[in-house]
Amino acid sequence: MNANSHRFSRIAGTGSFLPPNRLTNDELAAQLAAQGIETSDQWIVERTGIRARHFAAAGVNSSDLGVEAAKRALAAAHCQASSIDLIIVATSTPDMVFPSTACIVQQKLGVHGCAAFDVQAVCAGFVYALTVADSMIKAGVARKALVIGAEVFSRILDFKDRTTCVLFGDGAGAVVLEASDEPGLLASALHADGRHVGILCVPGHVSGGHVLGDPLLKMDGPAVFKLAVSVLERVARDVLAKANRTEADIDWLVPHQANIRIMLSTAKKLELPTEKLVVTVHEHGNTSAASIPLALDEAVRAGKIQRGDTVMLEGVGGGFTWGAVLLDL
């Protein structure tokens, strides 16, 4: 350890923000029906657990949602934006090609000078970003980090494709992660398997002033489902072993919120009672990198997750990427 390094990082505060426009399944189905696309509240609820999602208004970007979540996390941590020395934003829907959304968030928070960058690991983005921030704090590179997941997936949805457009929503969540001599983050594991790039992607890119290829989300849902249920159990067990803990030590499981069936299957495999599972997918849909910090913050503010509780965070998504973080709040 160098002179500035600490043994641990810990979450000092959480925050989240949803854009006000809430769309129920019935409202979305009515809009899609007007374009000749057939879906129903019954199908969406039965196959995914989703009942509603929030969509950002035109002109509202990931940085706008991220800043609101960050301000709430800073208030909960009783700290000023000026005391932050690292900002990491996990997003796959950045405001611009560059600079990073983290730099835009920094500017909107009215601070300058600290390190700021984005992490792109799609729905595993938040556990990636949290692990990077934890490592930088332990290395003495930073003392107080804002780690944000922020997305406007509504911008990349193909509203002619009913197999994907009913699944996603917009939102942001954030935590303040600070150096500490007490735990804190206990262990984490990150993985990727690029052989599965094609099962969940937005294949378009900008070239010569044009978008080349399709700029809308494509997903082979059943293939993603199958991979997700197998990796989520494994990575949770790996992280428990690294931390010398067992399944029985988990007070709360906060998984990526994509599909209630995936979440229930993971809880069952880990032999966790469903009461320990934090579920927000019914109200948020899949908000990609924002889903875990959104769910964490809602559970903290509802008084469910309390200081001292042991929490398992798990992300999985395009890449294929996946990972988990075990922490004592």
Nearest to 284 by CA among 154, 163, 148, 176: 154
Q: Among the candidate windows 10-18, 39-47, 64-72, 78-86, which touches ligand UT7 by CB under 6 A?
A: 39-47
221 binds ligand UT7 (CB under 6 A): yes
Cis peptide upstream of residue 126 (ω within 30 degrees of 0): no
138 binds ligand UT7 (CB under 6 A): no
317 binds ligand UT7 (CB under 6 A): yes
Catalytic residue among 103, 114, 123, 165: 123
Residues 61-120 touching ligand UT7, rule: CB under 6 A, are: none
Please say whether the beta carbons of 188 and 127 come within 8 A.
yes
Residue of the chain from 14, 48, 61, 91 that contacts ligand UT7 (CB under 6 A): 48
53 binds ligand UT7 (CB under 6 A): no
166 binds ligand UT7 (CB under 6 A): yes
Catalytic residue among 114, 256, 259, 284: 256
Q: Among the candidate windows 73-81, 82-90, 128-136, 257-265, which touches ligand UT7 by CB under 6 A?
A: 257-265
> Does the annotation mark 286 as catalytic?
yes
> Shortest Cβ distance from residue 125 to ligand UT7 (Å)?
10
Cis peptide upstream of residue 66 (ω within 30 degrees of 0): no
Q: Among the candidate windows 74-82, 112-120, 220-228, 298-306, which touches ligand UT7 by CB under 6 A?
A: 220-228
The site that binds ligand UT7 (CB under 6 A) totals a number of residues, namely: 19
Distance CA 148, CA 173 (A): 6
Cα torsion at 221, 227, 229, 232 (round to 10°)? -130
Distance CA 124, CA 289 (A): 6
Show the beta-strand stretches assigned E in 185-242: 185-192, 200-201, 205-207, 210-212, 218-219
> Does the annotation mark 123 as catalytic?
yes
Residue of the chain from 142, 228, 231, 240 that contacts ligand UT7 (CB under 6 A): 228
284 binds ligand UT7 (CB under 6 A): no
> Does the annotation mark 256 as catalytic?
yes
Of the pair 146, 228, the CB lying nearest ligand UT7 is at 228
DSSP 81-147: GGG--EEEEE-SS-SSSSS-HHHHHHHHTT--SSEEEEE--GGGHHHHHHHHHHHHHHTTS-SEEEE
Please say whether the beta carbons of 43 and 76 come within 8 A.
no
Distance CA 27, CA 43 (A): 14
Q: 60 phi and psi, to 5 degrees?
A: -95, 125
123 binds ligand UT7 (CB under 6 A): yes
287 binds ligand UT7 (CB under 6 A): no
225 binds ligand UT7 (CB under 6 A): yes
Q: 262 phi and psi, to 5 degrees?
A: -65, -40
Distance CA 307, CA 301 (A): 12
Residue nearest to ligand UT7 (CB): 221
Residue of the chain from 259, 266, 280, 321 that contacts ligand UT7 (CB under 6 A): 259
Question: Which residues of the shown chain bind ligand UT7 in the complex (CB under 6 A)?
Answer: 39, 43, 47-48, 123, 162-163, 166, 221-222, 224-225, 228, 258-259, 262, 286, 316-317
